[in-house]
């Protein structure tokens, strides 16, 4: 019988990959210790090694920069919507909500 699919946290994956990189234990020992298939451990190790350089890049996190741009765009959109609604309320004779 197959075991149901498990979703491991990024922290767990990093812990397993780091243990693999230390080289203190064999792949079989790590698989037994963490109850994960050896092929999965090998994949996580490869991902960790490939993404290690990004940790030390200058200029910050590119993903964070994209998120900041998205947030600025959203702020601008919400400001426009608030201004529009404020004018619509004024035309309808309702008092301002920004007092």
C-beta separation of 83 from 73 below 8 A: no
pLDDT tens digits, 26-79 = 999 999 999 999 999 999 999 999 888 877 776 556 666 778 888 899 999 999
Label residues 65-75 b or e (16+ Cβ within 10 Å = b). eeeeeeeeeee
Residue 8, both tokens: 């491991």
pTM passes above 0.85: no
Residue 52, both tokens: 């290690």
């Amino acid at each position: 019988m197959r075991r149901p699919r498990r979703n491991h946290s990024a922290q767990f994956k990093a812990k397993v990959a780091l243990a693999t990189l230390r080289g203190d234990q064999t792949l079989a020992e790590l698989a037994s210790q963490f109850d994960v298939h050896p092929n999965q451990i090998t994949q996580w190790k490869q991902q960790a090694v490939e993404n290690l350089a990004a940790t030390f890049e200058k200029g910050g996190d590119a993903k964070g920069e994209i998120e900041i741009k998205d947030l600025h765009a959203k702020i601008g959109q919400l400001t426009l919507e608030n201004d529009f609604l404020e004018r619509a309320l004024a035309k309808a004779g309702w008092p301002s909500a920004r007092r």
